[in-house]
Amino acid sequence: MRTRWLVPVVAIVTMAGTALALRTAADTVTPPPPVSPAADRVEVGSPAPLPARALRVGAVDIVIEPIRIDATSAVFSVEMSTHSEELSVDLTRTSVLVVEGVEWTGATWSGDPPGGHHRGGELTFEASGPTTGSAVLSIDGFSAPVEAEWTLSG
């Protein structure tokens, strides 16, 4: 007869203990993972991020932001927006990057296809020359040429 009430009591005590343990574990603050000392440090000579260029050509707003320009390639984030025309420009055919007088080739586009009123993606060029000096990205195919310029430092 004694075992009839003993089993439910043991089960209740076990569940209460488990609930208390889970509650305590949930309230425990976990410290952030250790950060490498290099993560806080800016390497001497590392290039500062280049600023985005916001342009308006006719009814089209264009924002061009350099992501990377180095010995392997140049990558730009390009965002285009309009409410009055189709954005049908083929950026791989109409874009030219010139760094210190040398044209970089092999433009590729990874992003929204031609058409619509809002397009964005990444425009990439194969490295073809120096990575310091004046960098000018030109894009044709709009109501006027688009040109954005940066000064690259080594």
In a domain, 129, yes or no: yes
In a domain, 35, yes or no: no
Residue 8 above 80 pLDDT? no
In a domain, 70, yes or no: yes
pTM, to two decimals: 0.69
Q: What is the rounded end-to-end Cα distance, in angstroms, of the chain?
A: 87
**Domain limits for position 139:** 53-152
Closest by Cα among 52, 98, 54, 80 to 141: 80
Residue 77 above 70 pLDDT? yes
In the block, tokens 């073809």 appear at 128
pLDDT at 53: 97
In a domain, 93, yes or no: yes
Q: Residue 99: give its domain's CATH number.
A: 2.60.40.3340
In a domain, 25, yes or no: no
Task: Give the model confidence (pLDDT) of 19-70 as tens digits.
Answer: 555 554 444 444 434 443 333 333 333 456 899 999 999 999 999 999 999 9
Question: Cα 28 from chain centroid?
Answer: 34
Q: How many CB atoms lie within 10 A of CB 95?
A: 22
> How many structural domains compose the chain?
1
